[in-house]
């Protein structure tokens, strides 16, 4: 039976086309039913145009329903103000559907701050969780992803927050990423127990004594990519700086490699011969492959994608939301926190 997933139809920078096309792709590839939320007078014509496109001939009509919402929150809106003022926003209507049980997950490529604030308000928090954490997938040299959290939901954290993040990350990695016993590390400036700031010093013994996870100690930034750790925990300030640096570095490497391969006739021939390898390299660094960042700790499934998400990213965001819902991660998190 299809899983019902809500998509904020007005979230991305180029909405609604990526959301509409991504919804169609998701329905083609996965067992989902998509509810596109936003102004019907905008979404319905966009959906009709997409379905008339030559790329879809001879295929059954996807299970996509338009759910009307008269407003949407833009990237330029101030999150707190927009959440209060726009009571019929596509985010609020969509997350309300998750709360009421008419859908099992929600995806948006919209304003991250507004998505987090709306999710906290509409869904509430899991038992035992004080603050939600935004998690993101990081590619590694081993081919298996690692999970970094928090990457921006909480600038200031206390040790208990980081312990909760560790439990939530462990459960997501085990149940969605299918890592049997995730290795959890505390992101710091050195592997030694004595390294770090006051927050990491105070958090370290709490994680060491936590039997619910496999805590491997402090990890450094390079360990996010070398396969040493499966889940890296930090406060949102450190995590956001780290992930933005990763994104910039990945773009730089891709650009420099492309320019190098085109710089001479010899390298152009080499580029043609190595096109498949180069495409595989780009795919490993492509954010659209991972769909979006799960907001862990809220009482429901909320996935937040890039504002620049294309149809592939939207499709994978819908997939991640469905996998999150099927794995019942939230019930595992609550159970683990009860037994701390």
Express each pLDDT in 80-125 by its tens digit.
Answer: 888 888 999 999 999 999 999 999 999 999 999 999 999 999 999 9
- CA–CA distances in Å: residue 52 to residues 49, 55, 132: 5, 8, 41
The model's confidence at residue 72, banded by pLDDT at 50, 70 and 90, is: very high
Coil, strand, or helix at residue 293? strand
The model's confidence at residue 278, banded by pLDDT at 50, 70 and 90, is: very low
Over the chain, what is the mean pLDDT?
Answer: 88
The strand ranges marked E within 162-203 are 183-187
Quick check: 68 pLDDT over 50?
Answer: yes
The pLDDT value given to residue 54:
74
The pLDDT value given to residue 119:
95
Share of the chain above pLDDT 70, in %: 89
Residues 333-336: contacts with CB under 8 Å, at least 24 apart: 333/126, 333/128, 333/129, 333/167, 333/168, 333/171, 333/296, 333/297, 334/126, 334/127, 334/128, 336/167, 336/170, 336/171, 336/212
The model's confidence at residue 143, banded by pLDDT at 50, 70 and 90, is: confident
- Tell me the per-residue pLDDT of 149-168, one tens digit each, with 9 for 90 and over: 999 888 899 999 999 999 99
The pLDDT value given to residue 274:
55
Query: Encoding tokens for residue 231?
Result: 């889940």
Query: Encoding tokens for residue 290?
Result: 């991972």
The pLDDT value given to residue 330:
95
- CA–CA distances in Å: residue 202 to residues 159, 165, 199, 239, 322: 6, 15, 5, 18, 36
Quick check: 24 pLDDT over 90?
Answer: yes
Whole-model pTM over 0.95: no
The pLDDT value given to residue 276:
60
The pLDDT value given to residue 152:
87
- Tell me the per-residue pLDDT of 229-274, one tens digit each, with 9 for 90 and over: 999 999 999 998 988 887 787 777 777 777 776 665 455 555 554 5
């Amino acid at each position: 039976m299809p899983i019902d997933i809500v998509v904020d139809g007005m979230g991305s920078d180029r909405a609604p086309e990526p959301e509409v096309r991504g919804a169609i792709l998701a329905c083609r590839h996965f067992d989902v039913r998509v509810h596109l939320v936003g102004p019907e007078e905008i979404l319905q014509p966009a959906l009709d145009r997409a379905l008339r496109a030559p790329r879809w001939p001879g295929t059954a009509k996807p299970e996509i329903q338009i759910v009307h919402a008269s407003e949407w929150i833009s990237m330029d809106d101030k999150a707190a103000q927009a959440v209060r003022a726009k009571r019929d926003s596509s985010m609020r209507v969509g997350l309300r559907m998750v709360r009421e049980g008419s859908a099992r997950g929600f995806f948006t490529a919209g304003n991250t701050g507004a998505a987090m604030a709306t999710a906290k308000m509409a869904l509430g928090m899991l038992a035992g969780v004080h603050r939600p954490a935004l998690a993101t997938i990081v590619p590694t040299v081993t081919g298996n992803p690692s999970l970094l959290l928090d990457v921006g939901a909480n600038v200031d954290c206390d040790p208990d927050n980081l312990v909760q993040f560790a439990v939530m990350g462990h459960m997501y990695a085990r149940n969605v990423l299918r890592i049997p016993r995730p290795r959890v590390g505390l992101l710091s400036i050195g592997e030694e127990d004595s390294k770090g700031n006051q927050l990491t010093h105070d958090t370290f013994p709490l994680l060491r004594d936590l039997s619910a996870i496999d805590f491997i100690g402090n990890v450094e930034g390079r360990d996010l990519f070398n396969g040493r750790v499966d889940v890296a925990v930090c406060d949102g300030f450190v995590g956001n700086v780290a992930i933005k640096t990763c994104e910039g570095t990945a773009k730089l490497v891709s650009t420099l490699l492309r320019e190098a391969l085109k710089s001479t006739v010899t390298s152009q021939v080499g580029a043609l011969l190595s096109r498949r390898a180069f495409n595989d390299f780009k795919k490993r660094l492509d954010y659209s492959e991972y769909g979006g960042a799960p907001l862990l700790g809220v009482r429901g499934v909320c996935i937040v994608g890039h504002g620049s998400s294309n149809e592939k990213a939207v499709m994978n965001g819908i997939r991640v939301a469905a996998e999150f819902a099927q794995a019942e991660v939230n019930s595992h998190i609550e159970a683990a926190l009860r037994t701390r």
